[in-house]
Structure 1
Amino acid sequence: LNLRDMVLTLYGVIIVFVIFYLAYKLFKQILVYYGKMIAKKTASKIDDVLIPVVEKVGVVVIGIAALGYALNALSIDLTMFVAGGIVISMVLAYAAQETISNFFSGIFLLLDRPFAEGDMIILSDGDWCDVRMIGLRTTRLYRFSDATMISLPNNKLVNEKIVRVSNVNDPARVNVDVGVGYGSNPNEVRTAIMKAIEASPYSLLTRDDRRPLILFDSMGDSALVFKVLCWINDNGKRIAARDKLVEEIYLKLNEAGIEIPFPQRVVHLKKEEN
């Protein structure tokens, strides 16, 4: 190349980078405007989560495009670069398939919304958890059984059975099975259990559609079984509420002189005559 061609080539490369720099600034300004003026006013959180991701991806795409046009302006053959890029992309995709799976699972959770932040859910292993944060790769949960914060991969949450109970601050129902001795008066049992419910600070007694139920459920092997269905005022305090309710039921039954039997079995011995 002569000097004139080199100057023109260099000038073309500079023009390419200037154009792509302006394109990047415009792209970023659009994202900033959307993020500040529109996304924050929407109820969905997916805008807030995806905007930083779109910005990073956009920078990479614009950078690669600018480099490609610059190399083309320098008359450099891009075939080897494209082939190498394809091979590298395939290797990276295979190595990061778990991360990619979690990423798209996170988008699915944000779009489909099987549960939201602040909801109470039950995992397939029976753990009760409060959803604290849904990210693009993992979801952070507060597990009530051992009071720990855990992070689960999003693809695990998408593929397993999850029960959404309610919002953590919503009223919830606590179930307790109570066994009393045979011969106990059912009305006296109900009265004692109702006193226990009223004594618990967690019980919700102010709403007619959330009144407690005390059901004579069955006649078991060694006890009359009553099922207690009691609403509490805070789903997040379910464990403490159930603990307090069981304690109050035990105390009120003892005060009323109602027997709480041990497991027992009646055995008849047959006497054989010689």
Structure 2
Amino acid sequence: MKIIAIDMDGTLLNSAEQVTYENAKAIKRAQAKGIEVVIATGRTYYTAANLLKKAKVNVPIICLNGADVRAHDGEQLASVPIDSESFIKIDKVCKKHDVHFEVCTNHGIYSISEDRSLQVRIDIVQSENLDFAESQVKEHFYEHVASGYLKFIESFNKILEFTNIEIYKVLAFSFEKEKLSNVKAELANDENLYVTSSGRNNLEINHVNAQKGIALEKFAAEREVAMKDVMAIGDNFNDISMLKKAGRSVAMGNAEEEVKKMCDFITKTNNDHGVAYAIEEMLKEYV
């Protein structure tokens, strides 16, 4: 293997949203052997980079499912934004089905409701059994608001009036599966959009060319690495595009069953340093 691509939530991060010492150590061991490690996440660069920095892991990052690609130093290498016409359609469809959504852009994240944005985060932590108290969720939320990373706006249409705006991803939330299914069904016929999910209660909506698999394939090609020499590790539906393309696909022990079935190997869970285990097992065979 010459490249290892690793998802973050449910994969590299444990349920406390931390990169464990074991995972960081395994990544550095792979790097020391000349293997390039890249993170492929649905997260924004801001949150992904901060978590990696805490663990002293320095790698390029495929952010927002491939809509924003960054080098080791944070330089933007590529972007694949959603076009205005498709965004207007997303806005209408989500409102029609009363689905709360937030918009990830090169200017930060936008929402139209502070109360609903906070409540969604609290509900997700509780439903996913993440190791966060409600007070911690609120603390992180208001830190993002104070920093200007999370902003509030009266109407999403106003975003289109901003200078040099790029809309990378729309993240829709609902604990009513029927609502999410209805949104996904209405957007399915838009050939400019790709709709997937990173959890049971969300939809991730990107430009059709903003997929982890497409971004990873381009990343490998630029380094003259064949996809057979790429290992990808993930746990959820937004990882499928890269897992399908990788020569060695690894599902986390906590992955969705559909993801496990399509992968070559299943590693330990994200709370048992599954990324480290997968890397160490690979190094035994290939290095």
Higher helix share: 1
Smaller-chain TM-score bracket:
under 0.3
Task: Considering Cα pairs closer than 8 Å and 6+ residues apart, tell me whether 1 or 2 has the greater RCO.
Answer: 2
Determine which structure has more spread, i.e. the larger CA radius of gyration.
Answer: 1
TM-score under structure 2 length normalisation: 0.18
TM-score under structure 1 length normalisation: 0.19
